[in-house]
């Protein structure tokens, strides 16, 4: 049996139980309409017993009598409907005699819907109910499959965006090291040591779906140490993340590209350099992460350009939907601020 043809399992949820009871009640009302002299309570007992029995037998058939042959599986289900109807009629008869001992003799037997002569009617309603419920199950299974496919697509796209970002800053760093080997081998060695630490932290987290904010800050610190070697006293930095945000789960390499953007386009081109401050704060159910530099400022930089910034925006949209934002603001009196706001979630 293929999943595309028949569901492999049937789950009787509270909603389906309620729908089953309602359907059984409607059948009892229908029977009373056909047999006006019959007792509604008697027909209701029969209807509920038969409907519940058919549902139970169908669940057993679909869950425990599986076969790759579709025709045989359908035969199992059809047989379960018949067995369920017979069992339900038997139980219903016992229940009616127990709860309504005077009802059965009071009217001719043919005026009750659920006697042996109307077994076909019971089977008809049972088949309709079974078809409806398994159709609902099939729709539910297809929805789950679609959501799983969408989730896998999002994960694949996120990983693709991460793979585009990683060579961007890795190759640039290697180029910087190569450029220092001849004019200043001491600096090149120190930068290579910092780069090794950077790789050690970044490669551990880069392939993960989420990382703790503290892990992302380790990557950022090692990255900034690389540029501190190159820029010397022209680059100062400070990381101010409160303890209650250290464990916040975020996509990896979310902050590092903003730091790279600030250093390469704001601080490094500036003759005097400047300071970079990375801070975080929690405001209600939102977390605000700010990367602020005192470099050339917004007039000298097109903050929304570049593969790093564009990928951050795409990843925020994929992971958080419309609940996350990335904006650039002027950092008075000088420089630029990149501000990320995301929901406060320990994991996602």
The rounded distance, in Å, linking the Cα atoms of 5 and 3 is: 5
Tell me, what's the pLDDT at 326?
92
CB 302 within 8 A of CB 289: no
Tell me, what's the pLDDT at 8?
43
**1-25 confidence digits (pLDDT tens):** 333 344 445 566 777 788 778 888 8
The rounded distance, in Å, linking the Cα atoms of 246 and 242 is: 7
Tell me, what's the pLDDT at 112?
44
Distance of CA 219 to the CA centre of its chain: 27
Residue 5: CB partners within 8 Å, gap ≥ 6?
A: 70
pTM for the full predicted model: 0.53
Q: Give the residue extent of every domain in the chain.
A: 14-146, 184-343
- CA of 236: how far to CAs of 35, 56, 232, 274, in Å? 91, 71, 9, 6
CB 219 within 8 A of CB 258: no
Strand residue runs (E) in 131-234 = 211-212
The rounded distance, in Å, linking the Cα atoms of 136 and 174 is: 58
Cis peptide before 253 (omega within 30 of 0): no
Sign for the CA dihedral angle at 179, 182, 184, 185 comes to: positive
Q: Which tokens go with 136?
A: 């609902």
Residue listed under structure tokens 């450029």: 179
Give strand pairing partners of 283. Answer: 286
Tell me, what's the pLDDT at 240?
93
The rounded distance, in Å, linking the Cα atoms of 192 and 213 is: 25
Tell me, what's the pLDDT at 149?
57
Ranges of the chain whose pLDDT falls below 50: 1-8, 105-114, 117, 158, 160-161, 164-165, 300-301, 347-348
CATH topology of domain 184-343: Heat Shock Protein 90 (3.30.565)
């Amino acid at each position: 049996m293929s999943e595309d043809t028949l569901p492999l399992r049937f789950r009787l949820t509270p909603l389906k139980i309620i729908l089953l009871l309602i359907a059984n009640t409607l059948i009892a009302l229908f029977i009373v309409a056909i047999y006006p002299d019959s007792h509604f309570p008697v027909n209701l007992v029969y209807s509920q017993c038969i409907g519940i029995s058919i549902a139970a037998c169908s669940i057993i058939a679909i869950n425990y009598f599986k076969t790759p042959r579709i025709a045989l599986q359908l035969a199992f289900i059809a047989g379960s409907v018949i067995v369920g109807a017979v069992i339900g009629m038997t139980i219903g008869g016992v229940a009616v005699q127990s709860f309504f001992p005077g009802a059965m003799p009071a009217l001719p037997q043919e005026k009750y819907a659920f006697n042996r002569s109307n077994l076909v009617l019971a089977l008809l309603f049972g088949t309709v109910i079974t078809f409806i419920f398994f159709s609902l199950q099939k729709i539910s299974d297809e929805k789950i499959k679609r959501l799983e496919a969408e989730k896998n697509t999002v994960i694949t796209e996120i990983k693709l965006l991460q793979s585009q970002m990683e060579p961007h800053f890795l190759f640039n760093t290697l180029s910087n090291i190569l450029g220092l080997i001849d004019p200043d081998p001491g600096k090149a060695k120190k930068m290579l040591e910092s780069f090794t630490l950077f790789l050690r932290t970044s490669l551990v987290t880069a392939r993960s779906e989420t990382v703790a904010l503290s892990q992302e800050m380790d990557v950022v610190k090692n990255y900034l140490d690389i540029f501190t070697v190159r820029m010397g006293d022209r680059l100062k930095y400070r990381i101010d993340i409160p303890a209650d945000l250290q464990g916040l789960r975020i996509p990896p390499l979310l902050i590092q590209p903003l730091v790279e953007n600030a250093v390469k386009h704001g601080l490094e081109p500036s003759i005097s350099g400047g300071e970079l401050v990375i801070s975080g704060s929690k405001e209600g159910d939102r977390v605000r992460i700010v990367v602020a530099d005192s470099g050339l400022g917004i007039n000298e930089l097109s903050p929304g350009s570049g593969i790093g910034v564009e990928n951050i925006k795409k990843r925020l949209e994929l992971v958080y939907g419309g609940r996350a934002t990335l904006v650039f603001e002027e950092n008075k009196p000088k420089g630029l601020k990149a501000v990320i706001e995301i929901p406060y979630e320990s994991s996602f």
